Structure 1
Amino acid sequence: MKAVCATDLSAASEAAIESETCLRCLSRIGVEKLHLVTVVPSNVHTGIPGLNFEERRQSALSRYQSVLESAGFEVEAHAVRGTPYRRINGVAEAVDADLIIVGSRGESPLENRAIGSTARNLARTAVAPLLVNRVEEATDDPEVVREHLFQHTLYATDFSSNAEQAFETFSYLHPAVQDATLVHVQTPKDPDPEDDDPEERLAALADRLREWDIDTQTDVRYGDPADEILAAEADHEPTMVLLGSRGHGRLRRLLLGSVSEEIVAHADGNVLLVPPERPRQPR
């Protein structure tokens, strides 16, 4: 597997890149090559005398690359200019990445750019599954919030085709998953449970996970999907929330605004957001 790892060269990005546990988790799911990407926003000028911007950026990238290579990954570094989320997606498409990894907090002293806003933009547009690695807020020396990225997974489903695609990521995640909680939120617009029982559908998914020796439980809730998924996260305390980026809704922005983007913005831990399948480039 190939992954794009986006960094704004902030302390938060450094915490994610230098977490040995996080790196082992990526290795366990089959990531072998990392494309390390930093984006200089178009409105930032790098040639201001006395800042040594380019030297500092290259020094930071070289240090991160050494850390990742020492952890056993093949690494290629990319320093590009433009709108961060667009350029990150562009690199991901160019290298046919299987995963995009981005930190959820941090303001770069070099670029004065919040990586958290980039994560939210990627939630709307990511061309590959997006792993948002949550990092501590309001501290000068942050650490990752959940070191084990996938160990305790909360999977949220509305039983749509994109939710099923998100479920299929367990096919490569399972070596790093110890247990899972499967959540469905019933809303007034959903079919009558007597005709389409969510408990039975979740139980069928749970049986599939148990074939991989994943200890699994189910949780059916009622109310607003975003609110209830966040409440389930608070109750079950997973290391990661897994969900698709689209569901029954046909209007992309409407769905993202009500569910996926809200989870990326407000979840306490890590989030893996899986977009609809798109045509793959020949390898």
Structure 2
Amino acid sequence: MRAVYATDLSAAIETAIGSQTCLECLQRYGIDAIDLVTVTSPNVTTGMPGSDVGGRTKQALARQRRLLEDEGFTVETHVLRGTPHRRINGLADRVNADLIIVGSRGQSPLEQRFIGGTARNVARTAVRPLLVQRIVEGEKEPEVANEHLFQRVLYATDFSENAERAFDEFEQLQSATEEATLLHVAPPERRAGSEGDTDADAEAQLAELADRLESLGIETRTVVRAGEAADEILAAEEEFDPTTILMGSRGQGPIRRLLLGSTSETVTARARSNVLLVPPSKTR
């Protein structure tokens, strides 16, 4: 399987690429080939007298390539010019990537954490599964928020077709995931007894999904909540401490290809965990 790994050549991204545990998790997911891509601004001129931007870019990319190759990945490097999210998604389509990986650095204090512009725009336009990897400021240098990327997964579902597509990711995650929490959030007005026993229906559907994961050797719990979806997903994150939140994102028309739904965007922006987003379009 192939991943497109976006890098801005920063110390933060190098921390993620240099984490042996993170890379082992990607291998357990099935990734064995990586297209490492950096996108430069079309306004940056590498040929100006005294400028060595191109040389520094190639050196930094080569250093990150070696980190990946030392862990057994087959690596291709790409230096592209243009709008980052367009070039990243375009490369993913061209190489038929199974996964896109972008880093997202948080801002302190924790309640003011926001997803970076490039990561947000990749998420809005990607038609392939996207892993938003959290990188936080450590005491001395950046750190990955969760080295064991997929060890504990919080899967949020509304039982839609797109949510089912996201659930299918467990086929790739089974060797990397030890524990899963399956969460359904019903709107506040649809509590049990209001329109039939909707909580019982949701619990039954979650139980079926849990049985499938248990057969894969993944310890699973199910949770049904009522409230605003994003708020309850983030509350469940605080309670169960997942390393990754898995959810689907819905398309809103063919012209823009994919806009994050309000729930997906809010969770991706505010979560402390990694987020694995699965779009509704064909991804394989």
**TM-score, structure 2 as length reference:** 0.89
Equivalent runs, 1:15-30 vs 2, <5 Å: 15-30=15-30
| Partner deviation per Cα, 1:85-112 (whole Å, 9 max, x = no partner) | 01000000000000000100289xxxxx
The structural deviation recorded for 1:46 is 3.3
Give the corresponding residue for 1:105.
105
Deviation for aligned residue 1:193: 5.3
Match of 2:147 in 1: 147
Shift of 1:141: 1.4
Kept in 1, the 8 Å contact 2:21–2:147? The answer is yes
In the alignment, structure 1 residue 174 sits paired with structure 2 residue 177: no
User: In 2 relative to 1, CA 58–42 (structure 1 residues): closer, same or farther, beyond 3 Å?
Assistant: same
Deviation string, structure 1 residues 53-94 (Cα, Å, up to 9, x no partner): 111100011011111011000000011001000100000000
Root-mean-square deviation (CA), in Å?
2.6
- Structure 2 distance, partners of 1:133, 1:45, is 30
* Correspondence for 1:200 among 192, 199, 204: 204
CA shift, 1:42, in A, is 2.4
CA change 1:250–1:192 in 2 (3 A) is farther
Paired residue for 1:235? 239
Q: 2:208 matched to 1:210?
A: no
Give, in angstroms, the shift of residue 262 of structure 1: 1.1
2:51 and 2:139 mapped to 1: Cα distance? 24
Q: Percent identity?
A: 58
Task: State the shift of 1:122 in Å.
Answer: 1.4
Identify if the C-alpha distance between structure 1 residues 255 and 68 changes in structure 2 by more than 3 Å, giving closer, same or farther: closer
Q: Deviations over 1:172-226 (max 9, x none)?
A: 1110000000011110465935257111111111000000010000111111111
Residue 83 of structure 1 is matched in structure 2 by 83
d(CA) in 1 for partners of 2:241, 2:46: 42
1:57 aligned partner? 57
Answering whether residue 283 of structure 2 is matched by residue 263 of structure 1, we say: no
Match of 1:161 in 2: 161
The Cα shift of 1:139 comes to 6.3
Which digits, 9 at most, give the CA deviation of each residue in 1:225-252, with x for residues without a partner? 11111111011100000000128x8899
Instruction: Please state whether the residue corresponding to 1:259 is helix, strand or coil.
Output: helix
The match for 1:110 is none
Residues of 1 paired with 2:115 and 2:53: CA distance? 18
1-structure distance, mates of 2:74, 2:115: 24
Structure 1 residues 105-160: Cα deviation after superposition (integer angstroms, max 9, x where no partner):
289xxxxxx98211111121112100011000476610101000000000000100
Q: Which string of whole-angstrom CA distances, capped at 9 and with x for unpartnered residues, describes residues 244-270 of structure 1?
A: 0128x8899998352111111111010
Residue 123 (str. 1) matches residue 123 (str. 2): yes
2:233 is matched by which residue type in structure 1? I
**Would you say the 8 A contact 1:10–1:106 is kept in 2?**
no
- In 2 relative to 1, CA 273–263 (structure 1 residues): closer, same or farther, beyond 3 Å? same
Amino acid at match of 1:34: I
| Contact map agreement 1:135 1:144 (CA 8 A) in 2 | yes
Distance 1:31 1:70, change over 3 A: same
Q: Distance in 2 between the 1:67 and 1:48 partners?
A: 30
Structure 1: segments with no counterpart, 5+ residues: 108-113
Residue 111 of structure 1: aligned partner = none
Q: Partner residue of 2:13? A: 13
Displacement of 1:44: 3.3
| Aligned residues of 2:115 and 2:270 also touching (Cα < 8 A) | no
Is the 2:151–2:178 contact (alpha carbons within 8 Å) kept by the matching residues of 1? yes
Report the secondary structure of 1:128's partner residue.
coil
Is the contact between residue 256 and residue 262 of structure 1 (CA under 8 Å) also seen in structure 2?
no
Alignment check: 8 A CA contact 2:249 2:261 kept: no
Q: Give yes or no for the alignment of 1:244 onto 2:248.
A: yes
User: Residue type matched to 2:66 in 1?
Assistant: S
